Amino acid sequence: MKQLDNSRFSALTKIIFLVSTTIITACSAEDSDRILEVDNSSNTNMAYPDWRGQWSRASGSLNWPSEGYEQAGPPPLTDEYMAIWQGYTALQEAGIPAGDPPSNCLPQGMPRIMKMTYPMEIIVTPEITYIYAEWNSQFRRIYTDGRSWPDYILPAFNGYSIGEWHDENGDGTFDMLAIETRAIKGPRSFDSRAVPLHANDETIVLEELRLIDDMTMQNTITTIDDALTGPWTVNQIYERELEDIIWAEYACAENNRHLKLGDEWYFINQDGTLEPTRIGQPGLIPAPENSN
């Protein structure tokens, strides 16, 4: 999103206001090109929050908005990308997992990884906060050491994240982590419904992570992307487990039964044969003949 490269937003709340007014205000030329104004140099006497444990997605839809599209309404896509989504939807209804890169074992990427279909762990250190996602054992590194954006960032599915801690209630302990993520590689979708992000991979994602109570966390996520008519904000809720935690090893390639050959998708049966996923699909490997 080249039009945003020289813009700055003071906080995610300002983005939410801009959504309601559909106005994005550019800052003066002497301002940096960072959305987050990060300066942790004066925060050395602050305490960091206790976010240990296992955090799981709260109950609700696996659609990007937790209430589901039936309640939240359709995603705010441009006409071009709405047509792409409708095409993916038609293919999915015909049995083809189109527009859903993780169905072929690609990482879900940002912001979808923060849906947390599987649990996560948050590891807080003064310079970096790590988010470990059980899905494919992925790590996000959120740099909170006051660094500026590098001149070059190697694109990655989870992007490059810079964060800023805030003490919202003034008690001397950080309680909200604001995050900006850039350099996110595609292909990506918001969810398994194949809601697309723009092919230019210039997405910017803003997050505000904070506790609602000791066992509940809210992530307010705003996605800025050229496939959208404006910034799209959703709230993802996670619930904490502190006892008898079990971490499962999730490897997508293990027992993955989706296979894409060219433009055709097949389902791999237990015996290794390929089952068509749509009516009229050409066969590839015939089922073994019955032996008597």
Cα torsion for 46, 111, 181, 28, to the nearest 10°? -100
Is the pLDDT assigned to residue 229 strictly greater than 60?
yes
Please, what's the b/e burial string for 253-269 (b: 16 or more CB within 10 A of its CB; e: otherwise)? eeeeebeeeeeebbeee
What is residue 283's predicted lDDT score, i.e. its pLDDT? 65
The Cα 284–Cα 273 span in angstroms is 9
Nearest one of 46, 44, 36, 50 to 163, comparing CA atoms: 36
**Long-range own/partner contacts, residues 40-46 (CB < 8 A, 24 or more apart):** 40/126, 40/144, 40/145, 40/146, 40/164, 40/165, 41/146, 43/165, 43/174, 45/172, 46/165, 46/167, 46/172, 46/173, 46/174
Between residues 4 and 283, the one the model is more confident about: 283
How far out from the chain centre does Cα 135 lie? 12
The Cα 278–Cα 92 span in angstroms is 10
Distances (CA, A) of 237 to 36, 38, 58, 220, 263: 23, 25, 6, 9, 36
Is the pLDDT assigned to residue 18 strictly greater than 50?
no
Is the pLDDT assigned to residue 17 strictly greater than 60?
no
How sure is the predictor about 55, in pLDDT bands with cuts at 50, 70 and 90? very high
What is residue 95's predicted lDDT score, i.e. its pLDDT? 76
**191 phi and psi, to 5 degrees?**
-165, 180
How far out from the chain centre does Cα 157 lie? 9
Q: Show me where the domains of the chain are located.
A: 2-241, 257-285
What is residue 132's predicted lDDT score, i.e. its pLDDT? 96
The fold of 2-241 is Lipocalin (2.40.128)
What is residue 253's predicted lDDT score, i.e. its pLDDT? 67
Is the pLDDT assigned to residue 140 strictly greater than 90?
yes
